[in-house]
Amino acid sequence: MKIGIDIDNVVVKLTEGFCNYYNLKNLEKLDFENLKGYYLCDSLPITREEEHSLWHEYHDSDNFDDIGFVGNAKEVINLLKLNHKLFFITARHPGWEEKTRRFFSKHFPEDHFNIIFSGEVYGGAMSKDEICNNRGIKLIIEDHNEKGLDYAKRGIQVLLLSMPWNKNCEEHEKLTRVKDWNEILEKIEEFEQGEKTERGEVKNG
């Protein structure tokens, strides 16, 4: 099965890493668990432009290179790759591509994963949900609630990984909340079983 995997806050702890970086340099602390929304400007008195500058500052710092995996993402990815075709899909800034590819080469040196930059926030031609739709991706792991709904509305099964900013996500029959990567693995197995049963039913008329 073709599986889509968002990178930030699904594979890597981008926002948590940012909070740690920010808290080293500022008296006013950012509490990851109690962030008020997906964007930093939801929790800090800054504009979106200032937020962009902060993200780039973090990207250019050495701290960014030590960014950690979300839970046991690495182990589960190593299991999933044995039976599935994985696509890592991100809306990261195109200028982040080099460090992104370096991260994957470092942690998955034997793999040549598909890493796709939608660039949708920066005038890219296609959104992440269009990319999934065009490539026949059946299931995606995502943390952004609105993005999750975009996929769900296209009929793509979404596993929404719980994060402080997606607690109040609108419900959708194609969207399932998961608490960690163990549950992601379970839900993928369930979903695949359901797909097989469905195909069997079609075959038997």
Site for Mg ion, rule CB under 5 A: 6, 8-9, 143
Query: Minimum CB separation from Mg ion for residue 202, in Å?
Result: 34
Chain centroid offset of residue 43 CA: 21
Tell me how far apart the alpha carbons of residues 199 and 16 are, in angstroms, rounded to a whole number: 41
Chain centroid offset of residue 123 CA: 20
Q: Of all residues in this chain, which one has the CB nearest to Mg ion in the complex? A: 8
Q: Between residues 97 and 195, which has the closer beta carbon with respect to Mg ion?
A: 97
Query: Minimum CB separation from Mg ion for residue 199, in Å?
Result: 31
Chain centroid offset of residue 29 CA: 25
Q: Between residues 51 and 192, which has the closer beta carbon with respect to Mg ion?
A: 51
Q: How many CB atoms lie within 10 A of CB 173?
A: 8
3-state secondary structure of 10: coil
3-state secondary structure of 160: strand
Q: Between residues 14 and 188, which has the closer beta carbon with respect to Mg ion?
A: 14
Query: Minimum CB separation from Mg ion for residue 142, in Å?
Result: 6
Are 35 and 164 contacting, i.e. CB atoms less than 8 angstroms apart?
yes
Query: Minimum CB separation from Mg ion for residue 196, in Å?
Result: 29
Q: Between residues 70 and 188, which has the closer beta carbon with respect to Mg ion?
A: 70
